[in-house]
Amino acid sequence: MAKLAVSTGALLACGVVAGPIYLVVTSAEAVTRQGFDASRHTWNVLTAGDLGWIQRSNLFLVGVLTVLFAVGVRRALGPGWGGRWASRLLVLEGVGHNIVGAVFPADPQPGFPPGTSTETTWHGTVHLVARGSASPLSSRRAW
């Protein structure tokens, strides 16, 4: 079976594009989704509602790109302490913050999505815990 060889540079480029992709898609959604108010709602609530699949797809893609970036960081930094821990933390970010956050949508917040109930669900709790534990600073309003 032939192995697909991906260059370290290509893996590192995944990390370069992940952030801008997330910001562009999320910003576009924030200004176009009816009822979303950035002064009252956190970005993770964009995973809720009928159009939540867009933000969940965005999170999943960025999560995969972050995990690929982690592989590139591991290769670039080598087998030492820095390479091990940097790549582990990046995998935690990619899987915990993004992929799990994509699979389990957030609960609606008051006023968004319009017409939805704001009760707490098990998938909303998983979303909150995964995103909060992987990256506490990005979930500052959730605490």
Tokens coding 61: 């893609």
What pLDDT score does 48 carry? 87
Residue 113: is the preceding peptide bond cis (ω within 30°)? Answer: yes
What pLDDT score does 60 carry? 96
What pLDDT score does 123 carry? 75
Kindly list the averaged pLDDT for each block of 10 residues, start to end, along the chain of length 143: 78 95 95 90 88 94 96 91 90 89 85 78 76 53 39
What pLDDT score does 9 carry? 93
Enumerate the β-bridge partners of residue 44: none
Residue 8 φ/ψ, nearest 5 degrees: -60, -40
How far apart CA 50 and CA 113 sit, in angstroms, is: 9
Q: Answer for the pair 48, 121: CB distance below 8 angstroms, yes or no.
A: no
What pLDDT score does 134 carry? 57
How far apart CA 117 and CA 112 sit, in angstroms, is: 9
Estimate to the nearest angstrom the gap between the alpha carbon of 75 and the chain centroid: 23
